[in-house]
Amino acid sequence: MLRLLIGAALLNVALLLPLWLRFGELSPRWLALEALLLAALFALLPARGPASWLRWPALAAVALALLAGLGDAATHQALGRSLNLYLDLPLLRSVYHLLAGNLGTPLAVLALLLAVVALVGLLWGLWRGLAALQGRARRGAALGLALLLVVGSGALLAAELNQARLVPVARAPLVDTLRFQGQQLIETHRARRDFTARLADAPGPVRELSGLAGRDVLLVFVESYGVSAVNDERYAEVILPRLDDMAARLETAGLAVVSGTLDAPIRGGQSWLAHASTLSGLWIDSQLWYRLMLASERPTLVDDFRASGHRTLTVMPAITLAWPEGEAYGFDEIHAAADIDYAGPPLNWVTMPDQFTLYYFERHIRQPAAAPLFAQIALISSHAPWTPILPVLDDWDEVGDGSVFQRWADAGDPPEVLWQDLERVREHYALSVDYSLNASMRWIEDFLGDDSLLILLGDHQAAPLITGDDASGGVPVHVISGDPALLAPFEARGFVPGMLPPEREEHPGMDRLRAWLHEDFGG
């Protein structure tokens, strides 16, 4: 009987561990009904014979539920959404590269190996535990307890499946996880069929933006710059003075600015979905939509600006591997990390600081250009782990080939030290966004020019551990130009003068930008 109770307790911990990690607490969920049912059933089964083969499907179900549950907990913490096995398995490669960027390749490999060893050890322990349980309740008190557990947990599980929770602390994590992922699979397949209908409601054909002909149009994304950076008092004390400073410097430089907010399709990561929504005019909130959009050869702002006589390009310092998606967009030029001549050090995950990215774009791409540019630039210094925090250099010539940043290669605490204190992590988040905005402002006041149009916006909110679980998906958008006529259409849509976006409960989606440009500047 003792072995039955120990086996049930170990199964209980294994099944509930993902929920405890997901919600950050043990209460009010500390009883897994399937743990009691499985332990009791195996104790009642004969120790030998065909019944031994039932361990395999039981172990497979527990392993799948455990992996999916742990993945769901990690996805909630990082991206503020549930795991979708169909869509998110390709992201495992991105997880590895994030670890390698933060910890270095040896530690990243070691961390993954330890995770695999821990998982294999847990599954081996479950296998041995099920084997040890079989045939242990054949008579006496053990038989009575096993029968009681089978009947009791089975009844509670049946009630749970019918939306009736009779015991507040009890859950059905194995059934809930597998059922949820099954529903996700069905809904994902249904989404494929809905994609054609979604296309019909989005801006479609290529449209020449004659109102912007002959002007540089620059779409610059600031990593993890969400409205929480402005509205949350933990970060506002750093960011609001920066926005005030930027507004004053823009006025001194003879530039005008209006600000608003747009809703990003994602939280915490997957910036490419925000980029895709902005460029395509479609709401791209999953890998499936992303792949379908690219495969559809749907026109985007890249095609619109090419039709307007612009040379189209993207500057993506975070892209370190092959990027066929960039070619699918049809950019005339793609400047990924390997294409940018940077002689400085990587700064944990960040391949190069934002000030260098903007300097390189200005000196090596924009100034030599003969045709007007449409450029998408993705800044990355405000990407986690938010260490080290660099100063903005006053002299652009000092930036040079980036070797000047070598002096900050080992500055500040390494991520594994910083991330032991969540409050310090939040402090560094605000400082890194402040750095990105300050570097952008230095470039704007020195190089933007009077007749260009700059749209400076966040790509998404930071992860829930920074913003909280209930934060909106809004990101600030700053539209800047020396020609006020270019800003008037944005004011008509609710943008306000200055760098401080208005507080709103709801925001138009990023996917609206392409339609706005069509309506306001299309020929």
CATH number at residue 404: 3.40.720.10
- Locate all alpha helices (DSSP H) within 90-139, ordered by sequence: 92-103, 105-133
pLDDT at site 27:
66
* Lowest-confidence segment of 190-194, 299-303, 405-409, 480-484 by average pLDDT: 190-194
Residue 55 has pLDDT above 90, yes or no: no
Domain annotation covers residue 33: yes
Question: Are 261 and 386 members of one domain?
Answer: yes
Greatest mean pLDDT among 52-56, 366-370, 402-406 lies in: 402-406
Count the neighbouring beta carbons within 10 Å of the beta carbon of residue 229.
30
Residue 520 has pLDDT above 80, yes or no: yes
**Which residue carries 């507004």 as its tokens?**
247
Q: Which of the listed residues 133, 165, 189 is the one where a domain comes to its end? A: 189
Residues recorded for the chain = 523
- Contact between 281 and 510 (Cβ < 8 Å): no
Determine the Cα angle at 256 with ends 251 and 261, to 5°.
Answer: 120
143 phi, psi to nearest 5 deg:
-65, -45
* Lowest-confidence segment of 14-18, 144-148, 158-162 by average pLDDT: 144-148
End-to-end CA distance of the chain: 81
Question: Are 233 and 164 members of one domain?
Answer: no
Higher pLDDT, 250 or 117: 250
- With a CB cutoff of 8 Å and minimum separation 6, the contacts of 165 are 159
Range of 459's domain? Answer: 228-521
Domain annotation covers residue 431: yes
Question: Are 237 and 171 members of one domain?
Answer: no
pLDDT at site 60:
82
**What is the rounded distance in angstroms from the CA atom of residue 452 to the CA atom of residue 432?**
27
Higher pLDDT, 369 or 264: 264
Domain annotation covers residue 394: yes
Enumerate helices (H) and strands (E) in the chain, giving the number of each: 21, 10
- With a CB cutoff of 8 Å and minimum separation 6, the contacts of 13 are none
pLDDT at site 504:
83
Residue 137 has pLDDT above 60, yes or no: no
Domain annotation covers residue 81: yes
Question: Are 170 and 234 members of one domain?
Answer: no
pLDDT at site 142:
62
H or E stretch at 474: strand 474-481
pLDDT at site 229:
94
**Which residue carries 């054609």 as its tokens?**
196
Where residue 96 falls among pLDDT bands split at 50, 70, 90?
A: low
**What is the rounded distance in angstroms from the CA atom of residue 393 to the CA atom of residue 120?**
50
Q: How many CA atoms lie within 13 A of 249 on its CB side?
A: 17
Question: Are 496 and 388 members of one domain?
Answer: yes
Q: Which of 516, 517, 513, 519 is nearest to 265 (CA)?
A: 513
Question: Are 269 and 382 members of one domain?
Answer: yes
Residue 267 has pLDDT above 60, yes or no: yes
Instruction: Report the percent of the chain where pLDDT is more than 70.
Output: 86
Higher pLDDT, 493 or 118: 493
**What is the rounded distance in angstroms from the CA atom of residue 370 to the CA atom of residue 446?**
20
Q: How many CA atoms lie within 13 A of 128 on its CB side?
A: 8
458 phi, psi to nearest 5 deg:
-75, 155
Question: Are 93 and 20 members of one domain?
Answer: yes
pLDDT at site 285:
87
**What is the rounded distance in angstroms from the CA atom of residue 282 to the CA atom of residue 295?**
14
State the total domains in the chain.
Answer: 2
Where residue 521 falls among pLDDT bands split at 50, 70, 90?
A: very high
Greatest mean pLDDT among 89-98, 287-296, 512-521 lies in: 512-521
Tell me the β-bridge partners of 267: 461
pLDDT at site 296:
77
Question: Are 185 and 233 members of one domain?
Answer: no
221 phi, psi to nearest 5 deg:
-95, 130
pLDDT at site 181:
83
Q: Which two tokens stand for residue 394?
A: 């006053």
Greatest mean pLDDT among 19-33, 314-328, 456-470, 482-496 lies in: 482-496
Domain annotation covers residue 203: no
pLDDT average, residue stretch 3-26: 75
**What is the rounded distance in angstroms from the CA atom of residue 443 to the CA atom of residue 463?**
28
Question: Are 422 and 511 members of one domain?
Answer: yes
User: What are the pLDDT digits (tens) for 323-367?
Assistant: 777 888 889 999 999 999 999 998 888 999 999 999 999 999 998
Domain annotation covers residue 200: no
**What is the rounded distance in angstroms from the CA atom of residue 81 to the CA atom of residue 72?**
8
Where residue 146 falls among pLDDT bands split at 50, 70, 90?
A: low
Q: Which of 441, 475, 35, 520 is nearest to 260 (CA)?
A: 475
Q: What is the pTM of this model?
A: 0.71
* Nearest 10 degrees: Cα torsion 434, 436, 438, 443: -170
Where residue 376 falls among pLDDT bands split at 50, 70, 90?
A: very high
Residue 375 has pLDDT above 90, yes or no: yes
Question: Are 154 and 303 members of one domain?
Answer: no
Where residue 202 falls among pLDDT bands split at 50, 70, 90?
A: low
* Lowest-confidence segment of 75-89, 229-243, 431-445, 469-483 by average pLDDT: 75-89
* Nearest 10 degrees: Cα torsion 410, 411, 415, 416: 70
Q: How many CA atoms lie within 13 A of 345 on its CB side?
A: 13
**What is the rounded distance in angstroms from the CA atom of residue 479 to the CA atom of residue 437?**
14
pLDDT at site 154:
74
**What is the rounded distance in angstroms from the CA atom of residue 386 to the CA atom of residue 110?**
23
pLDDT average, residue stretch 186-203: 71
Determine the Cα angle at 334 with ends 373 and 460, to 5°.
Answer: 85
pLDDT at site 332:
93
Question: Are 185 and 327 members of one domain?
Answer: no
pLDDT at site 98:
60
DSSP-derived letter for residue 366 is: I
Q: Distances from the Cα of 48 to the Cαs of 17, 52, 320, 363, 521, in angstroms?
A: 31, 6, 54, 76, 77
Question: Are 307 and 407 members of one domain?
Answer: yes
pLDDT at site 188:
74
DSSP-derived letter for residue 390 is: P
pLDDT at site 29:
75
Instruction: Report the percent of the chain where pLDDT is more than 90.
Output: 45
**What is the rounded distance in angstroms from the CA atom of residue 487 to the CA atom of residue 504?**
20
Residue 379 has pLDDT above 80, yes or no: yes
Domain annotation covers residue 216: no
Q: Which of the listed residues 161, 189, 217 is the one where a domain comes to its end? A: 189
Domain annotation covers residue 174: yes
* Lowest-confidence segment of 198-212, 289-303, 500-514 by average pLDDT: 198-212
User: What are the pLDDT digits (tens) for 270-279?
Assistant: 899 999 999 9
pLDDT average, residue stretch 109-128: 78
Where residue 82 falls among pLDDT bands split at 50, 70, 90?
A: confident
pLDDT average, residue stretch 297-315: 93
Q: Which H, E and C letters describe 236-300, residue by residue?
A: HHHHHHHHHHHHHHHHHCCCEEEEEEEECCCECCCHHHHHHHHHHCCCCCCHHHHHHHHHCCCCC
User: What are the pLDDT digits (tens) for 428-461?
Assistant: 999 999 999 999 999 999 999 888 999 999 999 9
